[in-house]
Amino acid sequence: MRAYLSFFRMRLINGLQYRTAAYAGIFTQFFWGFMEIQLYGAFYRENPDNFPMALPHLVSYIWLRQALLRLLDTWTMEQEMLDMILSGNVAYELCRPTSLYGMWFARHAAQRLSATALRCWPILLVAALLPDPWGLRLPPSLGAAGAAALSLTLSLGVVTAYTLIVYFSCFFTLSAEGTRAVLMPLIGLMSGELIPLPFMPDGLSRVLSCLPFAAITNAPLRIYSGDLAGTAAAQTLLLQAFWLAALVLLGRWMQGRGMRRLCVQGG
């Protein structure tokens, strides 16, 4: 376990180096969130009765999504790791006395965390200071805050496990680009990144919220604002835990299969 923690730390420190890119990213994400809230606001004024979430819940959802974009987005891939698989350098990683899956899991999770740790604070701070319907608000209760923290941790696990599955698919397809190009927009839609799931037609949103992708963005952000509370929140947390376990198992299985093929290719 200690070995994985130090991989995690190494990557975290490495990621904290790139500050300028982070500042540009903050501006972009803030502006994006602002525009999107304006847009939903216009829809709200037009037809407040059809609004599927309370307006403050939605606003918190968008601000949090912008602040935590790098933590939860489903398109971040590390070229370095893909190259390792493609060039056969993954063999070096296999020489290490730790499990490849555990090591990469720690590494990728740290990468996401460090990118977010740099970027989220200014957005959270400014969003929290905005006047009432347009600002980020604290969760309604301590319980909700705790549940949101737990859910966010599970989300990080799910999105990391998902990313590793895409990496390992490289063992079979030898190029992540295609897989990524096709998956990215669909998963973005299904995880609640593009629009919050409740804004979709009811049947579709009910189906999507059971899929693993909803465990990434949809779950923690809605639990935070109290949009999902009580039993609904508990169910969502359980579902997240289930998908985390399932995706980790699937990833490990793919890694095992991939390793066997890798030997055939000779590395």
Partner 1 sequence: MRLYLHFFAMHLKSRMAYRKSFFFSLVGQFLSAFAAVASIWFLFARFESVRGYTLSECMLCTGVVLMSFSLAECFFRGFDRFSRVVREAQFDRILLRPRGVIFQLICQEIDFARLGKLLQGALMLAYGISVSPVSWTPARIALLAAMVLSGTLVFASLFLLYAALCFFTLEGLEFMNVFTDGAREFGAYPLDVYGAALLKFCTFVIPYALFQYYPLTYLLGRTDNPLCALAPLAAPLFALPCYAVWRIGARRYQSAGS
User: Would you tell me which residues interact with partner 1 (CB under 8 A)?
Assistant: 20-21, 24-25, 27-28, 31-32, 35-36, 38-39, 42-43, 46-47, 50, 52, 175, 177-182, 184-186, 188-189, 194-195, 199-201
Q: How far is the CB of 145 from partner 1 (least distance, A)?
A: 29
Nearest approach, Cβ of residue 142 and partner 1 (Å): 33
**Of 6 and 28, which CB lies nearer to partner 1 in the complex structure?**
28
Q: Please say which residue, 29 or 60, places its beta carbon nearer to partner 1.
A: 29
Q: Closest approach of Cβ 177 to partner 1, in Å?
A: 5
132 contacts 41 by C-beta, under 8 angstroms:
no
- Match 């998902």 to its residue by tokens: 162
Nearer to partner 1, 77 or 200 (CB): 200
Question: How near is the Cβ of 178 to partner 1 at its closest, in Å?
Answer: 3
3-state secondary structure the chain: CHHHHHHHHHHHHHHCCCHHHHHHHHHHHHHHHHHHHHHHHHHHHHCHHHCCCCHHHHHHHHHHHHHCHHHHCCCCCCHHHHHHHHHCCHHHHHHCCCCHHHHHHHHHHHHHHHHHHHHHHHHHHHHHHCCHHHCCCCCCCHHHHHHHHHHHHHHHHHHHHHHHHHHHHHHHHCCHHHHHHHHHHHHHHHCCCCCCHHHCCHHHHHHHCCCHHHHCCHHHHHHHHCCCCHHHHHHHHHHHHHHHHHHHHHHHHHHHHHHHHHHHHCC
Pair 175, 247: CB distance under 8 Å: no
Please answer whether residues 229 and 57 qualify as being in contact, where contact means their C-beta atoms are separated by less than 8 angstroms.
Answer: no
Query: How far apart are CB 23 and partner 1 at their closest, in Å?
Result: 9
